[in-house]
Structure 1
Amino acid sequence: MAIKAVIFDLGGVIFTLGEQGYRREVARRLGLGDALPAAYEEALPALQRGELAEDDLWERLSGRRVPLDAFDDAWEAHFRVNPEMLALAAELRDRGLKTAILSNTQASHVAIMRRMGVLAPFDPVLMSCEVGCRKPEPAIFRLALERLGLPAEQVAFVDDVPEFVAAARSLGIHGIRHTGDVAATRAALLALVGE
């Protein structure tokens, strides 16, 4: 059965993955040296589920309140749009497929991407911090299927993280690992479209 929709991850797929550079910059600005402490990694699931406010986390780590947009420029410097992947998504829409976004992220990053307009052509857009669950939790994949109105076998999921691709596959979704080779990802998707 041919797929009718493709769900894309953001960091490492639609955007270059600049997580480490971003974290270094945030740590420096918070006065924490060149790396965020282990407490950041421990808090990340709650932050990405929207259970923890960013300004509370920054205060917990640095001892001071930080404006929510304090690191916007650092994020924009380290996460760049991949125009080839946006073109691939547009090509799929031209072929009649739905395209969606599913990302583990936090509120300030969502605000930046919405301002950029990158998310506008995708529907639905599921951001972990807005829906209260995150990859690889099955609930977020089920929510994506529900919002698409499609069964798992008619949907493909593109992500750069093997664990997340495996989680999608475990639910019957066609998982494709994006390794940075847009041509390979395009070929894998078109094979599922039936072309």
Structure 2
Amino acid sequence: MAVSAVIFDWGGTLTPWHDIELGEMWRRICAAHHDPDEVEAVAAALLDAELELWRRGRDEHRSATLDDLFALAGVEPTEALLATQFEVWTPHTIIDPAAPALLQGLRERGIKVGVLSNTMWSREWHERIFARDGVLDLLDGAVYSSEIPWTKPHAEAFRAAMDAVGADDPAGCVFVGDRPYDDIHGAKSAGLRGVLVPNSTVPAYDSVRPDATIDRLDGLLAHIDRWAAA
């Protein structure tokens, strides 16, 4: 079946994978807004809360928000702290240089383009990032787990992403991601094709095989065209 929609993971896919030490990130954020003798304790509370919420997402497929994170940590976020958090993360959110041409190429083929991300961040933060990097207008729809009850690999998350781009047949949809379990297993379980962009850090999941594996985003169009011609 020809491809009607391609839906992308965000972190590690549209944005190249970065190894990040979360504890250090929180220390940098807290150091700008807390007394020096409070920084370690507050940063540790925020790290513990974030890891617990990611655990729930991984093991129970339950979504979470930044509000949930700060509430669990017992920290009251100020607008200034949130601004610092966004700023500290900025070097790790730059879109892959190959992405704009790829998304444009899909649109030129009449293929809908979407995003489905496991994230605690708001839609507003993600759209700021996409607008900054010049790709917001190339997206037909996006779903962020912070706005729905589920995380990938729950099938309802993939159905929500299909709805967001106006696709109704999973067999005509492709999901592109870097996580064999969340992205490829989740997509294929929901009836979509799965394309893996592997990195060395994400755990393997050998119970499912991707329909294609690409080392770089700009390798995707060859598979899309091959499936369209089949």
* TM-score bracket relative to the smaller structure: 0.7 to 0.9
Q: Could you state the TM-score of these two structures normalised by the residue count of structure 2?
A: 0.71
Please say which of residues 176-185 and 8-17 is displaced more in the overlay: 176-185
Aligned residues: 193
Alignment of 1:9-24 (within 5 A): 9-18=9-18, 20-21=20-21, 24=24
TM superposition shift of 1:38: 3.3
Q: Distance in 1 between matches of 2:100 and 2:86?
A: 22
Cross-structure match for 2:87: 73
TM superposition shift of 1:65: 3.3
Q: Distance in 2 between matches of 1:145 and 1:63?
A: 36
Q: Distance in 2 between matches of 1:150 and 1:73?
A: 38
Match of 1:185 among 216, 220, 224: 220
Taking structure 1 as reference, are residues 119 and 26 closer, same or farther at Cα in structure 2, changes over 3 Å only?
farther
Cross-structure match for 2:128: 112
* TM-superposition CA deviations, 1:136-193 (whole Å, max 9, x none): 1111111222332320110000001111211110121000001342343333333223
Taking structure 1 as reference, are residues 89 and 22 closer, same or farther at Cα in structure 2, changes over 3 Å only?
farther
Cross-structure match for 1:91: 105
Q: Could you state the TM-score of these two structures normalised by the residue count of structure 1?
A: 0.82
Gaps of 5+ in 1: none
TM superposition shift of 1:93: 0.7
Gaps of 5+ in 2: 31-38, 199-214
1:122 aligns with 2:132: no
Does the CA-based 8 Å contact 2:18-2:92 persist in structure 1?
Answer: yes
TM superposition shift of 1:20: 1.4
Alignment of 1:1-195 (within 5 A): 1-18=1-18, 20-21=20-21, 24-30=24-30, 31-32=39-40, 37-44=47-54, 45=56, 51-54=64-67, 57-58=69-70, 60-61=72-73, 63-67=75-79, 68-105=82-119, 106-107=121-122, 109-110=125-126, 112-113=128-129, 115-116=131-132, 117-147=134-164, 148-163=166-181, 164-179=183-198, 180-194=215-229
Query: Which amino acid in 2 is paired with 1:112?
Result: R
Q: Distance in 1 between matches of 2:12 and 2:27?
A: 21
CA-based RMSD: 2.9
Cross-structure match for 2:33: none
Q: Distance in 2 between matches of 1:21 and 1:112?
A: 24
Q: Distance in 2 between matches of 1:185 and 1:22?
A: 31
Please say which of residues 183-192 and 94-103 is displaced more in the overlay: 183-192
